[in-house]
Amino acid sequence: MSNKNSYHVVTTINNPTAVTCTAKGRFLDAEYDNLIVCKGSTIEVYSILADGIKLATEFSIYGFISKIQACTIPNKATCSLFILTDQHYYTIITYDTALQKMQTEGHGQLNEHNARVTDQPISTVIDLKSSTVLVSAFTGLLFSVPLAPKTDIKGKQKEGNRSAPFVSSSIRTNEFDFLSMVSLRGIHQSYIAVLLGEINDLKTIKAFRYNASLNEITENDKMQVGVEATTHTLVAVPDPIGGVLAIGEYIIAYYDLSSSGGAPKELSIDPTLVTAVAFLENSYDHCMMGDAEGYLYMLTFDITNLKVQQIHSTLIGQACIPNSITHLGEDLFYIGSLQGDPCVIRLNKVGPKFSIDILHTFSNLGPIVDFCLFDYDQQGKQTMVCCSGVDKDGSLRVVENGVGFLEQYELDIPLITQVFPLTIPKTFCDVLVISTFDRTLVLQQTSEAEMKEFTKYSGMVHNEVTLAAVINQEGYLIQITKSSARIMSASDQGSLVFEWKPPKGEYIAIAQLNETQCVLCCGTGMLIYFDCAGNTLRQISYLQLPDVACIRLCPLKQDGIDSDYVLIGMWSKPKALLLQLPHLEIVLEHSLKETGPRDLLITRFESKYYFMILLGDGQLLSNEIQLKGNVAQIMSERQTMVGTYCTAMYPYVHQDQKKVFIAGSRPTIVSSLRETLYFSAVNIKDVFAFATFSQHILLMTDHGLLFGQIDANQKLHHNKFKIENDMPVRIRYMNQAKALAVGTLYKEKNNHNGFLTNRGNIRILDAQTFQVLDTYPLPGIETVESMVMASFSGYPNKEYLFVGTVIENADDPDASHGRILVFDIKENYKIELLEAIDEPGIIYDMRAFQNSVVACVNGSIYCLTKFAPDLPRGQRVTFEINVHKNVLALSLDTRGDKVLVGDLMRSMSVLKMTSQNPLKLDVLAVDSKPAWMTAVKFVNDYTYIGADDKNNIFTLMLNASDNSGGNISKLQLKGGFHVGSLINCFRPDILVDVLSTGANDHDALTKSIEGSFTFATVHGSIGTVKTISHKAFELFSAVQKNILAESTSIGNLKYASWRNYKPQLHHHQDMTTYLDGDLLKKFQYFNLTIKHKILQHDLLKNYTIVEMEGLINSLVS
């Protein structure tokens, strides 16, 4: 069996964004606290500021982090981090302040032969008396990891490996599962309290004392209490009070856990699921709590003589759905979230009342339940739209390659209308003229980040708005305001040389200047052209127009064109005029359909000249233009949406390349590659003006002026779009309509019992503005489960939307059923139901296939056997059962005449079409090994990739010769790769950085020999899978092996244990056919010596460092 097409490169292009766990401690410095945030395998360490947090450093380990705990190791000035991965590897890391690097104190694996992994959340606590970490990760077992050498009863160190610090050992318990575990404070601080499973509708809290010298736990029968059945979390109450809070869905109770503690103190609450709890720092009577709807509460205790008398709860606000709450100090809190955007909040207290302000939010794409990729402009640039978040935190997230603006500092001046950077001749000092809504400011840069303001500069008018300002060819400063055009000597002590005023009763409305030319428009539409090269304004010509909306000087003689021009935009009859200078002769009149221009520009990209028209509604019209004297010809108009509104275009040069910055709601940079225009989004919103000043890029926002630089490398940017109160769950792009079909759901609360039920909508959205164009509400409790766009040969140039639904049966989930709904999308984007077909199960997935549609309905594959939208309703669409071989068919893919099926338990199977009309399928091959599939994808006819519930992707292959006998073939496992996070779907194509890598793979070695595809995970990471040749695999395998040899593993965890395919816990298989693009990307960060060392392999000796960097960049971009 050939495996020539079974070699793959898996690359993460967007790291996990969901916060899995947090901690706080003095990690980087013994004097200051740090916030530690875990996202996947990455740990971010933040400095805590007066009004927020700032990233200080970040690092990654070989493992997906499930728990983190700040701990203290004896004789260490700073705290250490105990980190546990989802594969039960642990490591203890300290920051070495002298060497300024991470240091591994110890590491290992929690492992016991035949131990069963717990179904409950893993708990970690620290026994302070013995400095031991206790971990509940397996049924009937606790693991202890000492942070200091164990001692015997007399205080002497014990000998033997088990007494060594950081070496784990197991402790047998008589309990089944620990649902929650805390280390007690107060008088019981040597105890741990655990919540145990449901018995007779009650749960139990028991207390155990840990004996470090014997490595065992002893139960204290007197500290046992029964608690309400919905109790799910214990929270230790701080010193000196002690005891625990037991949190349930209806009751929060405090238990003293002492023999004389008396009755519990209970607080009844409305039904809710509490997801995060934290006591305020240095407080024992205030506790912040968050629930599954993002509501935050303050629990307060009435305490008398160190005894809790009563508990109160107050609603204080709403933020993201939390999974952790960390008090940062003072009144700041960090709210971590798996399901929404983490945030920093400020707690306000006025008298007895509390409230919150959200100060900062941090983008989280997770969980990504579905996504689509589309090329709106057909220019090779893909846009990714994700269904992200859960419930109220659900939203669409737009992910696309874009340009990064690296902010260096900000100038806080409100209500700026325009900026004019000037370089004063001879002095070479930089002056910034800033026009606000009612005055003009002049600033001079005195140092890298300091500016000096002039109360009076030369002969400038400061109490008017400046319309234009420039230093002319002779070195004079020109300022144009509403009342006059002024020429003055260019220095702070300068004086007025010449002034021109408009005719009586007129005012200057618009003006444009360069070093030699001035065009201005008076309020009645009088256009006047001046020569302004010297110390006067010399009027050359004028032209009366009905109105003028915008002016753009086009000095094209400097580019080799035989004339200069001026562009005029008009609103009354929307059009653009091209006038030849110096006599303002009309060369071109270009009518516009609907709205007038906001700005105009003629500029050269590579060998072509472009006439660009920016409309106020965010559209950009790009035309190629040929100019010669009084003749102009435009052609090849292209329409691009660059925002919901735009203000102006600003040509500039960056790294010797001509570019145009478009200011507006979604700032965009236009550039050219291989005679094609490309549009790159900028990672900042709502920019009103742009300028270059003193080696800085200036962006004008509603807050003031941002000074910074444009990042040369493109990066992925995220934009968030809420769809009312809906949570998007399924999305498809409609090529014909250039719109999005989105299946959403929302929660509806029953006012009688407080229960929440799901309701569904089908929404049609504009694919550029993401505005809702139409909505089809689903009846009752029906919600969207799957969607597909399909077209049919009998109805050319039409796409139909097929939607699979679920109608849940709350009493018997196995009896849930659904419908297949077929919609026609009209030209006005209205959605019309053609047919609704009841099915006996849930429609988990659908795919267009061979002029038909295939659907997963529970364990069966159904085929569309009739599609006649012209017939009466009820006769238009028919689906028939075709193959019934699955437990639950959850996911599909199609290619040619084959269908790939992913099953709940039975891995993957391949179906082959045996008849097209009507469509019939038969089983071609199956995988005999069990696996719970979450997504499947064809690589080619004989190679298949699937994602499973163990966070792997793996490859199965079909031997083409196996099917000669007509029997069902067996699929063969070729290799696998541990991604670390659950994948919900694969989609063809990838987000390509066209400008960095070129329009296509140009190196045969790194070119994907099959279609590349993208995946997204529940933790917000995005990745790509590329299929490469055997030759490329061998080459990059050598690179990867040498990179590993030269890499330092933070935490001393093994790379192979992290990335090897894991069909079961602790059962690894080598990732023989997969390469790790994330590891290959590390090559560029090594110094030259190590890079040379990596390239010493026989296969690599013929490559230079620059060549290898180019190959790796091409491979993993």
Which range has the worst mean pLDDT, 100-104, 151-155, 167-171? 151-155
Quote the pLDDT of residue 529: 96
- Listed residues 364, 382, 398: the one ending a domain: 364
Q: What is the pLDDT of residue 257?
A: 84
Distance separating the N- and C-terminal Cα atoms of the chain: 31
Q: For position 678, what pLDDT does the model report?
A: 84
- pLDDT at residue 1087 in the model: 92
Residue 441 inside a domain? The answer is yes
**Contact, 982 vs 86, CB < 8 A?**
no
Of 447, 442, 418, 419, the closest CA to residue 431 belongs to 442
- What pLDDT, on the 0 to 100 scale, is given for residue 1? 43
The pairing of beta strand 395-411 with beta strand 676-682: parallel
Helices (H), 824-898: none
Q: How many CA atoms lie within 13 A of 179 on its CB side?
A: 19
Torsion angle of C-alpha atoms 1005, 1009, 1011, 1013, degrees rounded to 10: -50
Residue 1008: half-sphere exposure toward Cβ, Cα within 13 Å: 22
Q: What is the pLDDT of residue 259?
A: 60
Indicate the DSSP class of residue 1083: G
* Residue 1070 pLDDT: 62
Distance CA 681, CA 671 (A): 11
Q: Can you tell me which residue has the tokens 């007025």?
A: 496
Residue 759 — pLDDT band, cuts 50, 70, 90?
Answer: very high
Share of the chain above pLDDT 90, in %: 57
Residues in the chain: 1117
Q: Which tens digit of pLDDT belongs to each residue from 576-585?
A: 999 999 999 9
Please tell me the distance from the alpha carbon of residue 371 to that of residue 308, in angstroms, as a whole number: 50
Exposure pattern of 57-93 as b/e (b: 16+ CB <10 Å)?
Answer: beebbbbbbbbbbbbbbeeeebbbbbbbbbbbbbbbb
Rg (CA), the chain: 34
Per DSSP, 1082 falls in state G
Query: What is the model's pLDDT at position 999?
Result: 41
On whether both 353 and 418 belong to a single domain, the answer is: no
Residue 825 has pLDDT above 60, yes or no: yes
Using the predicted structure, report yes or no on whether residue 541 has a pLDDT greater than 80.
yes
Residues 6+ away with beta carbon under 8 Å from 138:
110, 112, 115, 116, 117, 118, 170
The average pLDDT across 65-93 equals 93
pLDDT the model gives residue 717: 85
| Closest by CA position to 655, among listed 996, 283, 288 | 996
Say what the alpha-carbon torsion angle 729, 734, 737, 739 is, to the nearest 10 degrees. 30
Q: What are phi and psi of 572, to 5 degrees?
A: -60, -50
User: Helices (DSSP H) in 42-132: which residue ranges?
Assistant: none
Yes or no: say if 1029 and 4 are a contact pair by the CB < 8 Å rule: yes
Enumerate residues 6+ apart whose C-beta is below 8 A from 388: 364, 365, 366, 367, 368, 369, 394, 395, 396, 397, 728, 1020
Instruction: Say if residues 981 and 1015 touch (Cβ distance below 8 Å).
Output: no
**What gap in Å lies between CA 926 and CA 702, rounded to an integer?**
60
Pick the residue with more confidence: 381 or 987?
A: 987
Mean pLDDT over 630-652 rounds to 87
In DSSP terms, 609 is beta-bridged to 604
CA 124, CA 69: separation in Å to the nearest integer?
8
pLDDT band (50, 70, 90) for residue 811: confident
The answer to the question of residue 462 being in a domain is yes
Residue 1077: inside a domain:
no
Confidence of residue 163 (pLDDT cuts 50, 70, 90): low
Residue 434 inside a domain? The answer is: yes
Predicted local distance difference test score (pLDDT) of residue 965: 61
Distance of alpha carbon 729 from alpha carbon 890, whole angstroms: 15
Pick from 881, 876, 936: nearest CA to 906: 936
Q: What is the pLDDT of residue 4?
A: 55
Return contacts of 787-792, CB within 8 angstroms, 24+ apart.
787/730, 787/731, 787/732, 787/741, 787/743, 787/846, 788/732, 788/846, 788/847, 788/848, 788/853, 789/732, 789/733, 789/734, 789/735, 789/741, 789/848, 790/848, 790/852, 790/853, 791/848, 792/851, 792/867
pLDDT at 1001 over 50: no
Distance from C-alpha of 464 to C-alpha of 479, rounded to nearest angstrom: 11
Parallel, antiparallel or unpaired: strands 646-654 and 657-664: antiparallel
Q: What is the pLDDT of residues 1008-1052, one digit of tens each?
A: 778 889 999 999 999 999 999 999 999 999 999 999 999 989 999
Same-domain check for residues 341 and 419: no
Q: Give the range of the structural domain holding residue 449, as residue numbers without chain letter.
A: 413-517+532-538
Q: Name the more confident of 978 and 175.
A: 978
DSSP 194-219: EEEEEETTEEEEEEEEEETTTTEEEE
pLDDT of 551 > 70? The answer is yes
Number of independent structural domains in the chain: 2
Pull the structure tokens for residue 198. 């449901």
9 vs 975: CA distance, rounded Å: 12
CB atoms closer than 10 angstroms to residue 673:
16
Q: Are strands 818-825 and 831-839 parallel, antiparallel or unpaired?
A: antiparallel
Is 744 within the bounds of a domain? no
CB 963 within 8 A of CB 971: no
Residue 927, both tokens: 């995988």
- Among 653-657, 824-828, 1077-1081, which range has the highest average pLDDT? 1077-1081
Determine, yes or no, domain membership for 423: yes
pLDDT of 152 > 60? The answer is no
* HSE (side-chain half, CA atoms, 13 Å) at 539: 13
685: DSSP letter: -
Q: Are strands 440-447 and 430-436 parallel, antiparallel or unpaired?
A: antiparallel
- Tell me the per-residue pLDDT of 276-326, one tens digit each, with 9 for 90 and over: 999 999 899 999 999 999 999 999 999 888 888 899 999 999 999 999 999
> 815: closest CA among 788, 843, 854, 842?
842
pTM score, whole prediction: 0.86
Mark whether 346 and 419 lie in a shared domain.
Answer: no
Please state, in angstroms and rounded to a whole number, the distance separating the CA atoms of residues 385 and 587.
44
Q: Is the pLDDT of residue 407 over 70?
A: yes
Mean pLDDT of 797-821: 90
Judging by DSSP bridges, how do beta strands 1074-1076 and 7-14 pair with one another? parallel
**What is the C-alpha separation between 443 and 828, in angstroms, rounded?**
52
Tokens representing 696? 């800085």
Q: Give the span between the Cα atoms of 373 and 380, in whole angstroms.
A: 11
- Tens digit of pLDDT for each residue in 777-799? 999 999 999 999 999 998 988 99
| Mean pLDDT, the chain, whole residue set | 89
340 within a domain of the structure (yes/no): yes
Tokens of residue 736, six digits = 């014909």
pLDDT at 761: 95
- Write the single-letter amino acid at 579: L
Can the peptide bond before residue 421 be classed as cis, meaning omega within 30 degrees of 0? no
Judge whether 320 and 334 are in contact, CB under 8 Å: no
The answer to whether residues 351 and 419 belong to one domain is no
Helix axes 1105-1116, 1030-1046, angle to 10 degrees: 110
Pairing of strands 575-580, 565-570: antiparallel
Residue 469 maps to a domain = yes
Closest CA to 211 of 257, 158, 144, 256: 144
Domain stop point among 349, 364, 379: 364
- Please give the Cα distance from 39 to 58 (Å, whole number): 11
